Structure 1
Amino acid sequence: MEVAASARACLVADVGGTNARVGWTLDGQSVQDVVVLRCNDNASLAHILGSYVERMARSHPGMALREAVVAIAGYLQGDRLVNANLPWEVSVARTADAARLESLVLINDFGAVAHAIPGVQRQTLVPLLPGQRDPGMQVPALVLGPGTGLGAALCLDRTGAEVLLTESGHAALAAGNPLELAVLQDLATRWHHVDNERVLSGTGMMHLYESLARMKGETPLHRRAEQLVAAADAGDATARQTLDVFSGWLGSLVADLVLTLGAREVYLAGGVTAHIAPFLHAGPFQQRYAARFGSPRVPPPVWRIDHGHLGLIGAAIHWRSRTSCSVRSIEEHA
């Protein structure tokens, strides 16, 4: 894309605990030149943003990226981002200085996904409930995703302008049967507060697997979530049990959040969701989710969606909606 010398563009990024996606937008709708980087391979958020600014200056001489909106997990305490899953500390002011940005805004990563949901093509959504019908987008809509952590937000209107942020991943994990209670008791010997993402996330899945293996007197054989999923596909009994328990437990949590927040439909995103799709469709998720809704109430529809670039698009929409970008603007919630 040719960029006029006077064009005002914005760098947008979606930074998770594992990967960072970076691009730029001119219209606040589409995102160009997206690159995916591993967070652990970079010394800081400033390094990621600054390197991209330099790269675009070389490839698009007419464009000067001076503003940035970054969708990132966690929340702000003053100038500092609080996020236990990132490999580096983040100061908004120091990051803006180091990346040579005039304006840097941090927004919640799942808040960004919620901003983008109304623009998703309905035919790309995969239904998770048997016989589920599509009445069109219903609000409020819950957007939830297990990745390195567990994110959740609520889209409040059909334009995506109004979003409610949550810290549901850090709420206490609730057991729904004796096996889950045993897992919870086991994990409580390691952490004084066992929150939802201790089990219902990519890293949490491994905690669940290790706990189930200990209960069986087995030595855990797998160290990473992708290995665990492959082993479950290959017939490893404990690995398969882990994915079934994970899916059922996730179904209960999603139902509890729907009831608590008054959501009328659910979108499951996040990196883990795509990797375990066959297990999410296998039954435990649906059974545990539907069990929360007594007759004659119909459980709100649940859609599986490829996270893809939704966080980037949400960051772009946020930039477009701002009437002006002030230097080093810091939002209340990141």
Structure 2
Amino acid sequence: MTTSTAIIGADVGGTYARLGWATLRPGEPIQVNGFRKYTCAEHPSLAAILRDYVHWLHTENLAPAIQSAVVAIAGVLDGDDLLNTNLAWPVSLSRTRHDAGLEQLALINDFVAVAQALPYADAAAMQRIYGEGALEMRLPALVLGPGTGLGVALRLADGVLSSEAGHAALSAGTPLEQDVLRLLSQQHAHVDNERILSGPGLVALYTCLCELRAVPAQWQTPAQIIQAARAETDTLALESTQMFAAWLGSLAGDLALTFGARSVYLTGGITGHLAAELHDDGFQQRFLSKGGLSPALRQVPVWRIEHGELGVLGALAWHAENALPAAARRSATEHGE
């Protein structure tokens, strides 16, 4: 018996929500349709975004009637409530489902979705940062990405392991990083990885470097810092982006060793904007700089993924690999098959 379903997939972060839909059929490729991007702060709730998207699909006659959605969202479910520090609004699973007018709603971690999407991602979206050999997903595969926060997940042979490594304590590997960490420790009781390795973290890093060099900070957003670094009009902005990439390389190497990863994939909005720095030697050197275990990491390729629909694709893939087979089994049982 063949089971198919039309469902909305959404990727919701601290800044943007990206939505699409697909008709899922076992054994068939996933085609994302009706892709649309929302600015989270411009809407009062997640439910309002989902409701607007469903209304848009109906008004434009772009999809069949859809009553189900899977939302990949930054955070961890605690009962009915989502625990998150970066979203524009609180999220309740039951209230969101009710207010959005949906019959079924699932919330999964956003980087679980990214890891889920890896087998479905277009090879043309993969940019090699380090390593040799053909493009193939070597498991376990580590996925991490700085955006509004820092997401981490691990793709295994039989599923995906979510991680909150972004909230683990930040580790300094150079004297300058130790100076930055000292300044941050004076401001925060807990300095986690995303305090530096995120969009807001890039601003924090730049601000710390300005304070250490006794220079007034000129920029207040990641975009301004990156633009100044590209124009080479501010040496501290350029140093900040290079230092960010090297620090990210150090963490990527740490996590690869911790999880026993055989491949690493970088994603998230910041990695696209800092592509030049990530492909420079700073990231690679710090990724490999692990003492006696450096040779083990030389066998681990690192890829950067350029795919704006990856989280949406992953949410749909999660449903295809988990909920859809379960529904097919229930249907077969009910029909005596």
TM-score by length of 1: 0.91
Corresponding residue for residue 300 of structure 1: 300
Q: Take 1:266 and 1:117, find their aligned partners in 2: how far apart are those partners?
A: 11
Is residue 23 of structure 1 aligned with residue 16 of structure 2?
A: no
1:33-52 alignment runs, 5 A limit: 33-52=34-53
Corresponding residue for residue 279 of structure 1: 277
Q: Deviations over 1:132-174 (max 9, x none)?
A: 32362210000110000000101112xxx60010001000000
SS in structure 1 of the partner of residue 314 of structure 2: helix
Q: Take 1:200 and 1:268, find their aligned partners in 2: how far apart are those partners?
A: 12
| Percent identity for Structure 1 against Structure 2 | 46
Q: Report the alpha carbon displacement of residue 115 of structure 1 after superposing the two structures with TM.
A: 0.6
SS in structure 1 of the partner of residue 327 of structure 2: coil
Q: Take 1:95 and 1:16, find their aligned partners in 2: how far apart are those partners?
A: 16
Greater share of residues in helix: 2
Is residue 67 of structure 1 aligned with residue 68 of structure 2?
A: yes
Is residue 261 of structure 1 aligned with residue 262 of structure 2?
A: no
Corresponding residue for residue 178 of structure 1: 175
Distance 1:297 1:229, change over 3 A: closer
RMSD: 1.7
Corresponding residue for residue 334 of structure 2: none
SS in structure 2 of the partner of residue 214 of structure 1: helix
SS in structure 1 of the partner of residue 277 of structure 2: helix
Q: Take 1:80 and 1:295, find their aligned partners in 2: how far apart are those partners?
A: 43
Corresponding residue for residue 203 of structure 1: 200
Q: Take 1:135 and 1:319, find their aligned partners in 2: how far apart are those partners?
A: 26
Distance 1:31 1:296, change over 3 A: closer
Corresponding residue for residue 246 of structure 1: 244
Q: Report the alpha carbon displacement of residue 310 of structure 1 after superposing the two structures with TM.
A: 1.0
Corresponding residue for residue 317 of structure 1: 317
Do the aligned partners of 2:34 and 2:62 also contact (CA within 8 Å) in 1? no
Amino acid at match of 1:41: E
Corresponding residue for residue 133 of structure 2: 133
Distance 1:134 1:96, change over 3 A: same
Corresponding residue for residue 289 of structure 1: 287
| Structure 2, unpaired ranges of 5+ | 329-337
Is residue 154 of structure 1 aligned with residue 157 of structure 2?
A: no
Is residue 187 of structure 1 aligned with residue 176 of structure 2?
A: no
Q: Report the alpha carbon displacement of residue 295 of structure 1 after superposing the two structures with TM.
A: 3.9
Corresponding residue for residue 4 of structure 1: none
Distance 1:283 1:77, change over 3 A: same
SS in structure 2 of the partner of residue 193 of structure 1: coil
Q: Report the alpha carbon displacement of residue 251 of structure 1 after superposing the two structures with TM.
A: 0.6
Q: Take 2:6 and 2:296, find their aligned partners in 1: how far apart are those partners?
A: 51
SS in structure 1 of the partner of residue 19 of structure 2: strand
SS in structure 2 of the partner of residue 248 of structure 1: helix
Amino acid at match of 1:308: G
Q: Deviations over 1:294-329 (max 9, x none)?
A: 34762411001114111111111122231239xxxx
Q: Take 1:110 and 1:55, find their aligned partners in 2: how far apart are those partners?
A: 27
Q: Report the alpha carbon displacement of residue 76 of structure 1 after superposing the two structures with TM.
A: 0.9
Q: Take 2:102 and 2:297, find their aligned partners in 1: how far apart are those partners?
A: 51
SS in structure 2 of the partner of residue 279 of structure 1: helix
Q: Take 1:135 and 1:311, find their aligned partners in 2: how far apart are those partners?
A: 20
Q: Take 1:296 and 1:313, find their aligned partners in 2: how far apart are those partners?
A: 32
Amino acid at match of 2:313: I
Count of matched residue pairs: 315
Q: Take 2:92 and 2:135, find their aligned partners in 1: how far apart are those partners?
A: 43
1:74-89 alignment runs, 5 A limit: 74-89=75-90
Q: Report the alpha carbon displacement of residue 8 of structure 1 after superposing the two structures with TM.
A: 3.9
Q: Report the alpha carbon displacement of residue 30 of structure 1 after superposing the two structures with TM.
A: 1.4
Distance 1:275 1:297, change over 3 A: closer
SS in structure 2 of the partner of residue 90 of structure 1: coil
Distance 1:56 1:217, change over 3 A: same
Is residue 225 of structure 1 aligned with residue 222 of structure 2?
A: yes
SS in structure 2 of the partner of residue 192 of structure 1: coil
SS in structure 1 of the partner of residue 206 of structure 2: helix
SS in structure 2 of the partner of residue 175 of structure 1: coil
Do the aligned partners of 2:127 and 2:306 also contact (CA within 8 Å) in 1? no
